[in-house]
Amino acid sequence: MGMVGGGKDAFIGAIHRIAANMDGQIELVAGALSINEELARESGKMLFLPEDRTYLNYEEMIHAEAKMPADKRMDFVTIVTPNFAHFAPAMLALENGFNVVIEKPITFTIDEARQLKKKLDETGLMLLLTHTYSGYPMVKEARQIIKSGRLGKVRKIYVEYHQGWLSKLSEREGNAQAAWRTDPKRSGKAGCMGDIGTHAAHLAEYISGLKITQICASLNVVVPGRLLDDDGGVLLRFEEGATGVLTASQVAAGEENALKIRVYGEHGGLEWAQQEPNTLTLRWLDKPAETLRAGNNYKAWESSYATSNCRTPGGHPEGYLEAFGNLYHNFARALSAKINNEKPDQEWLDFPGIEDGIRGMAFIDNVVASGQSDKKWFDHVV
């Protein structure tokens, strides 16, 4: 793995490194860790990177690594820069034969995302989009339960993602995270909806197996002086007649990272909340509610998606880093199978990719357009 961005003090870069590293299959071998030279060098040292693979920009890294022998050079490039700086390194990596791991939202514009898809189709390379929450074992279990039909036809989906960390104008108070995420030039058209609304939308589609078809959005700039939405609510219509509601907020003061989803079908419903991720609650019309618990010794439902994404037995809580690790682990196994010309297990392929990236960009475009419009229902065209 070679990393673009994520120098020391960057939040998400460190997360990616722990996640990639978790199962002992992936090693950080190269990095263009900062556009600041000194920082790039320091970060490389801190991470025990050899000096000659501590690059000062991504072009240098990609070109240099491409020239190395196959068994030496990095297998893929991980891009953890702010949104506006996703596309260029991703495209260059693909052009030079490297697979790509990339943060969401995938690019700055949907057009860029479409160009990446085209290149992926041409090259046959692989891309992992880190919609972390789909890496949780009980999220995978939820998806399998819906798929199995046990809850009946899906009728209703509530998904919410509430944070409070932007309750003040922190972008003007030296918070670097806040600064770029609320800046249209670095973040894109949407603030809250791009940063966390896309996660919520992805999760709703991932678990329910249904695509959003129409939206009616109300976006708000709650904190005076902010340049992008920091809050919003969206009425949703899905395929097959299901409906739903998505809310996302970064001004829900006191909330940490409260992503929660509930899906109801004809016979019952399920509920999962990211902050207690090892529990999945099933409620039924005609019998007591059931509490499913993550663990690699989990036997209650026959799906192996949950168990194969756990490292410990039930009661030894795994969390966010492990979920993130699952994305990398599955990606690595799928990549390894491809490299070795083996048929990958279906479960290894269960990670978000370019299609999810394009849908996410369309969600941003459409939700912003809907938010500005007097028309009630917008087709969620992708």
**Contact positions with its own copies (CB under 8 A) in 10-39:** 11, 14-15, 17-18, 21-24, 28
Residue 273 DSSP label: E
CA dist 356 and 187 (Å) reads 18
Q: Are 334 and 142 in contact, with CB atoms under 8 Å apart?
A: no
Task: Tell me how far, at minimum, the Cβ of 117 lies from its own copies, in Å.
Answer: 30
**Contact positions with its own copies (CB under 8 A) in 170-199:** none
- Rounded to a whole number of angstroms, the distance between the first and last alpha carbons of the chain is 31
How do beta strands 258-265 and 154-162 pair? Answer: antiparallel
Whole-number Cα distances in Å, 81 to 26, 88, 104, 162, 304: 20, 11, 10, 23, 34
Out of 286, 340, 341, 381, the only residue in the binding site for its own copies (CB under 8 A) is: 286
What Rg value do the Cα atoms of the chain yield, rounded? 21
> Is the omega angle on the peptide bond into residue 313 within 30 degrees of 0, that is, cis?
no
Task: Tell me how far, at minimum, the Cβ of 248 lies from its own copies, in Å.
Answer: 11
Q: Does 44 bind its own copies (CB under 8 A)?
A: no
Q: Does 149 bind its own copies (CB under 8 A)?
A: no
Task: Tell me how far, at minimum, the Cβ of 354 lies from its own copies, in Å.
Answer: 26
**Contact positions with its own copies (CB under 8 A) in 291-310:** 291-293, 295, 299-300
Alpha helices in 105-183 (DSSP H): 110-123, 137-148, 176-181
Angle made by CA atoms 224, 225, 226, in degrees to the nearest 5: 95
Q: Does 320 bind its own copies (CB under 8 A)?
A: yes
Stretch that binds its own copies, among 80-88, 190-198, 249-257, 341-349 (CB under 8 A): 249-257
With residue 154 as reference, give the H or E element that holds it. Answer: strand 154-162
Task: Tell me how far, at minimum, the Cβ of 255 lies from its own copies, in Å.
Answer: 6
Q: Are 251 and 167 in contact, with CB atoms under 8 Å apart?
A: yes
| 230: nearest Cα among 244, 248, 255, 212 | 248
Task: Tell me how far, at minimum, the Cβ of 316 lies from its own copies, in Å.
Answer: 4
Out of 65, 112, 229, 318, the only residue in the binding site for its own copies (CB under 8 A) is: 318
Task: Tell me how far, at minimum, the Cβ of 24 lies from its own copies, in Å.
Answer: 6
CA dist 115 and 142 (Å) reads 32
Q: Does 339 bind its own copies (CB under 8 A)?
A: no
**Contact positions with its own copies (CB under 8 A) in 362-381:** 373-377
Q: Are 26 and 1 in contact, with CB atoms under 8 Å apart?
A: yes
Beta carbon nearer to its own copies, 187 or 249 = 249
Beta carbon nearer to its own copies, 96 or 274 = 274
Task: Tell me how far, at minimum, the Cβ of 173 lies from its own copies, in Å.
Answer: 13
Out of 67, 288, 302, 381, the only residue in the binding site for its own copies (CB under 8 A) is: 288
Task: Tell me how far, at minimum, the Cβ of 257 lies from its own copies, in Å.
Answer: 3
For residue 24, the tally of other CB atoms under 10 A from its CB is 7
Q: Are 230 and 182 in contact, with CB atoms under 8 Å apart?
A: yes
Beta carbon nearer to its own copies, 173 or 286 = 286
**Contact positions with its own copies (CB under 8 A) in 255-284:** 255-258, 262, 264-269, 274-278, 282-284
Count interface residues toward its own copies (CB under 8 A).
87
The separation between CA 201 and the C-alpha centre of its own chain, rounded to angstroms, equals 11
The separation between CA 266 and the C-alpha centre of its own chain, rounded to angstroms, equals 29
Out of 316, 339, 355, 379, the only residue in the binding site for its own copies (CB under 8 A) is: 316
- The binding track of 47-76 with respect to its own copies, each residue x by CB under 8 A or -, is xx----------------------------
| 143: nearest Cα among 286, 275, 309 | 309
Beta carbon nearer to its own copies, 114 or 311 = 311
Q: Does 104 bind its own copies (CB under 8 A)?
A: no
